[in-house]
């Protein structure tokens, strides 16, 4: 599904495109980039969805992973085999992927991560730059990254499970506890600081989350609402 010129949604259970997370494809002038992949069973569906956009899956050069949960990264090894691409992920996420997700019940196949990141990098693909933003707070393991690009005159932020389109005080249709679980106040503060940093650094026109609806206009408003929701949650945790 084309979002705008050069940016596509090619996976996502909410859109009947695959069984897991939202998966995004960026066309960097013939060199294709993926943001997340879903589970092993999603990869062939994503390959088919790429073909349906008249693009060649073999042109995928790099698969960027937002964090080490298997509904986002479990298909990494399968994707490398099908697309013959490199993997890029936070160094913590890389250790988990290369270790075969040892704490996972499903234990997907391990895969080598060629591009190990820590946040702050800017990677060039032709005229396109992918900015890597370190955004801890969602996973207990660490390794959360968001990715920022400029395309068609718009700032586009891929947030994984850090930020979502909000509605009626819910983030991506769920309470904030669905995304961070039971955490200490210090951990909630870390998450809140990541959201505030994203708003300051990125202020995206378009916010593309790892699950649920897309924010195709004034994406920064969704970040602002996420901040309000998490700040409220933190304040309530202080009073208990």
Tens of pLDDT, residues 116-147: 999 999 999 988 999 999 999 999 999 999 99
Tens of pLDDT, residues 47-75: 999 999 999 999 999 999 999 999 999 99
CATH class of 2-238: alpha beta
For the chain, give the mean pLDDT.
95
Residues 6+ apart with CB under 8 A from 73: 36, 37, 65, 67, 89, 93, 96, 97, 101
Tell me what pLDDT residue 3 has: 97
Is residue 104's pLDDT more than 90? no
Question: Once rounded to an integer, what is the mean pLDDT over residues 1-15?
Answer: 96
Alpha-carbon span 126 to 121, nearest angstrom? 16
Domain spans of the chain? 2-238
Residues comprising the chain, all counted? 240
Task: Give the helix/strand (H/E) hosting 50.
Answer: helix 43-52
DSSP 41: G
Cβ atoms within 10 Å, residue 167: 13
State phi, psi for 100 to the nearest 5 degrees: 75, 30
Residues 6+ apart with CB under 8 A from 83: 34, 47, 57, 58, 60, 63
Task: Give the helix/strand (H/E) hosting 186.
Answer: helix 185-201
């Amino acid at each position: 599904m084309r979002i705008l010129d050069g940016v596509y949604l090619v996976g996502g259970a909410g859109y009947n495109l695959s069984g897991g997370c939202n998966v995004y494809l960026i066309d960097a002038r013939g060199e294709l980039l993926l943001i997340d992949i879903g589970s092993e069973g999603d990869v062939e569906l994503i390959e088919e969805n790429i073909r349906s956009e008249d693009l060649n899956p073999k042109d995928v050069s790099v698969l960027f992973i937002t964090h080490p949960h298997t509904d986002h990264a479990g298909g990494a090894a399968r994707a490398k085999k099908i697309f013959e691409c490199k993997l890029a992920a936070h160094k913590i996420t890389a250790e988990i992927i290369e270790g075969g997700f040892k704490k996972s019940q499903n234990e997907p196949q391990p895969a080598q991560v060629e591009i190990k990141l820590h946040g702050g990098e800017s990677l060039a693909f032709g005229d396109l730059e992918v900015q890597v933003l370190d955004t801890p707070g969602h996973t207990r393991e660490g390794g959360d990254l968001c990715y920022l690009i400029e395309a068609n005159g718009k700032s586009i932020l891929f947030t994984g499970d850090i930020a979502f389109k909000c509605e009626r005080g819910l983030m991506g249709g769920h309470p904030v506890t669905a995304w961070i679980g039971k955490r200490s106040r210090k951990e909630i503060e870390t998450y809140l600081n990541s959201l505030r940093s994203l708003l300051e650094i990125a202020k995206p026109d378009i916010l593309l989350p790892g699950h649920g609806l897309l924010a195709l206009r004034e994406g920064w408003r969704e970040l602002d609402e996420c901040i309000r929701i998490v700040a409220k949650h933190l304040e309530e945790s202080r009073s208990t």
